[in-house]
């Protein structure tokens, strides 16, 4: 399990948001969105402009059926995608948000 390696790194350096992000990605790949959420929340809190952390956080929340919380994070990510001129993530986020509104 890839997450075990990153869990060790996070335990050694809990303030390192890159280790937390890598751990969250590994947890998501392992189908463990609930375990990934706290790490993604730390990442989003540490960097106000970290779009990808918010996208993954929104998707993890969606996977758990937490639609209102997911919508908030996905809207934040969309704002960042627009501000940062990331067209592909913007399109993906618009589609996700449209599905939430349907």
Q: What is the residue extent of each domain of the chain?
A: 2-101
Between CA 48 and CA 45 the distance in angstroms is 6
Between CA 77 and CA 7 the distance in angstroms is 26
Q: Are 54 and 80 in contact (CB under 8 A)?
A: yes
The pLDDT score that the predictor gives to residue 44 is: 96
Question: Looking at domain 2-101, does it have CATH number 1.25.40.10?
Answer: yes
pLDDT above 90 covers a percentage of the chain that reads 96
Q: Are 50 and 43 in contact (CB under 8 A)?
A: yes
The pLDDT score that the predictor gives to residue 102 is: 82
pLDDT per position as a tens digit, 40-62:
999 999 999 999 999 999 999 99
The pLDDT score that the predictor gives to residue 75 is: 97
Low-confidence ranges of the chain (pLDDT < 50): none
Kindly report the backbone phi and psi dihedral angles of residue 10, in degrees, each rounded to the nearest multiple of 5, phi listed first: -65, -40
The pLDDT score that the predictor gives to residue 2 is: 87
Between CA 80 and CA 97 the distance in angstroms is 14
């Amino acid at each position: 399990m890839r997450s075990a390696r990153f869990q060790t790194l996070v335990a050694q350096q809990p303030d390192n948001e890159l280790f937390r992000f890598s751990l969250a990605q590994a947890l998501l790949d392992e189908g463990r969105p609930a375990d990934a959420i706290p790490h993604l929340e730390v990442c989003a809190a540490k960097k106000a402009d970290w779009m990808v952390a918010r996208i993954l956080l929104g998707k993890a929340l969606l996977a758990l059926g937490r639609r209102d919380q997911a919508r908030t994070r996905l809207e934040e990510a969309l704002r960042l995608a627009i501000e940062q001129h990331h067209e592909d993530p913007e399109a993906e986020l618009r589609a996700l948000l449209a599905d939430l509104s349907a």
